[in-house]
Structure 1
Amino acid sequence: MPAQVGSAVCIVSGGLDSVCYAATFARRHYDICMITFAYGQRARREIDAARYFARILKSKEHKIIDISFMKGLYGNSNALTDSKQKISKEFAQNLVVPIRNAIFLVIAGAWAMSINARVVTYGAHLGDVQHYSDCRPEFARSMAEALNIADVDTISSGHRQQIEILSPAMEGLEKSQLLKEGYAILGDRLFRTWSCYSNGVNRANKYLHCGVCESCISRKKAFTAAHIHDRTRYATA
């Protein structure tokens, strides 16, 4: 067994992208610590999925951080926390949760520095960068610089080390490429991820992905592009 190469704090929502990326860091022999955020999202089932994958990936620790107060700040600015809004089939501005990744990265960065982790990861891939500013590599690099400046004195003294923020987009990965890597590690367990922006559709006491929201459609397209049979159960094909 190769030696550990350091620790990584992996932001994992329970969705396809963040789970696949965390899995790649476990395979790279990082000592992974997972962090999941309850920010008032409609899709609470993704948190249960994150718990499952924390066990599967043998995460050293899994923190579920309750920042649901953010829902009150967001108001009606986005459809992912405001259940009165319709979730669209294609990208729409109301799918953007204001600076969500910035909030996640700051909190994950604080934990990473506290445990002397070298890396913070999140699941932003190349397909995200067109519409979501806080998924772009330049944003991630700027966040890492800001976090390291914020603690520069303890870094300079050697009490802590600089952190690096990494994402699939920064490695040039599309969603389907990331999916292939994740499937090679996790196999059919990957179908336990939760991508649906809703909290699911109840059919015979089982909750299915809705199949028609923008995220479900992106999930379907990724499996098709990756040439992997999609065993996800959708309420609408």
Structure 2
Amino acid sequence: MEQSKQTESVKNSTQPKKAVVLLSGGLDSTTVLAMAKAQGYACYAMSFNYGQRHQAELQAAKRIADVLGAEEHRIMTLNFGELGGSALTDTSIDVPEELSEGIPVTYVPARNTVFLSLALGWAEIIGAYDIFIGVNAIDYSGYPDCRPEFIEAFEKLANLATKVGVEGQSFKIQTPLKDMTKADIVHCGSELGVDYRMTVSCYQADSNGQACGVCDSCRLRTKGFADAGLDDATVYQ
């Protein structure tokens, strides 16, 4: 009996750590999935059909999860479109094609709070203590829920509001891209073998995933490849 327990303990100790990775299908989240895999995590990818303008990014997320070897890929269905208030979920609001001051209309109110909450629930169920999200505080659109202060606050909430936290374990919200430029991110992913042709970053991509080339996300992506000195294989409309 004692020998059986020791054998089971050794077996469990050799199993890789589990992580939930938020995967949009874009450049940043794909790089994060590749980074988590490279760190030895067994990755459980989570994407969201939240009423966004196009489904191309979800098709991209499916391909990426498969190619990068996610243990499982779940697509959760929400409907932020019922709330409106964002150019990404409300077709009556145009996606801006010029630089603007302040927080842009492509900001989706409470999106990362909701996404992280659902990832937290799944993490607790499957026994994962790490949640990866591709937020960035340098080359980004200025969304308030991408800031380090938000991530720190959510991590504290995660460890206060869960059975895992109450019983003495702890969750870590991993943000490996936080202090990286877009060029740094592209370099990192390229070194890990990421094929960025699979990814869709555009806020208004067509049904084939072709990018507009003029929205804020496209501008950041294009600049990232240019600054990195690498060819951008993005297909534009």
Q: Deviations over 1:166-224 (max 9, x none)?
A: 11344x2122211111111234x211100110132x7xxx5521111111111100111
When Rg is computed on C-alpha atoms for both structures, the one with the higher figure is 2
Q: 2:181 aligns with which of 174, 193, 198?
A: 174
Q: 1:184 aligns with which of 191, 194, 199?
A: 191
Partners of 2:209 and 2:66 lie apart in 1 by: 21
Change in Cα spacing, 1:42 to 1:29, as seen in structure 2 (3 Å) is same
Q: Does 1:81 align with 2:83?
A: no
Is the CA contact (8 Å cut-off) linking 2:45 and 2:65 kept in structure 1?
yes
Local SS of the residue matching 1:228: coil
Change in Cα spacing, 1:142 to 1:60, as seen in structure 2 (3 Å) is same
Is the CA contact (8 Å cut-off) linking 1:129 and 1:136 kept in structure 2?
no
- Which residue does the alignment assign to 1:142? 153
Change in Cα spacing, 1:219 to 1:162, as seen in structure 2 (3 Å) is same
Structure 1 residue 43, shift from structure 2 partner: 2.8
Q: 2:203 aligns with which of 191, 197, 204?
A: 197
Is the CA contact (8 Å cut-off) linking 2:47 and 2:75 kept in structure 1?
yes
Partners of 1:207 and 1:19 lie apart in 2 by: 15
Change in Cα spacing, 1:55 to 1:93, as seen in structure 2 (3 Å) is same
Partners of 2:129 and 2:157 lie apart in 1 by: 15
TM-score (norm 1): 0.87
- Which residue does the alignment assign to 2:214? 212
For structure 2, the 5+ residue unaligned runs are 1-13
Partners of 1:119 and 1:228 lie apart in 2 by: 31
Q: Give the fraction of aligned pairs with identical amino acids, expressed as a percent.
A: 34
Change in Cα spacing, 1:181 to 1:65, as seen in structure 2 (3 Å) is same
Structure 1 residue 118, shift from structure 2 partner: 1.7
Q: Deviations over 1:69-119 (max 9, x none)?
A: x2102x2x1101111222112255211110110110000011111111121
Partners of 1:102 and 1:156 lie apart in 2 by: 21
Partners of 1:221 and 1:130 lie apart in 2 by: 13
Structure 1 residue 62, shift from structure 2 partner: 0.4
TM-score (norm 2): 0.87
Partners of 1:111 and 1:88 lie apart in 2 by: 34
Change in Cα spacing, 1:133 to 1:169, as seen in structure 2 (3 Å) is farther
Q: How many residues align?
A: 221
Q: Does 1:97 align with 2:108?
A: yes
Change in Cα spacing, 1:163 to 1:154, as seen in structure 2 (3 Å) is closer
Q: Does 1:32 align with 2:43?
A: yes
* Structure 2 residue identity aligned to 1:231: A
Q: 1:157 aligns with which of 145, 149, 167?
A: 167
Is the CA contact (8 Å cut-off) linking 1:15 and 1:194 kept in structure 2?
yes
Aligned residues: CA RMSD:
1.9
- Which residue does the alignment assign to 2:125? 114
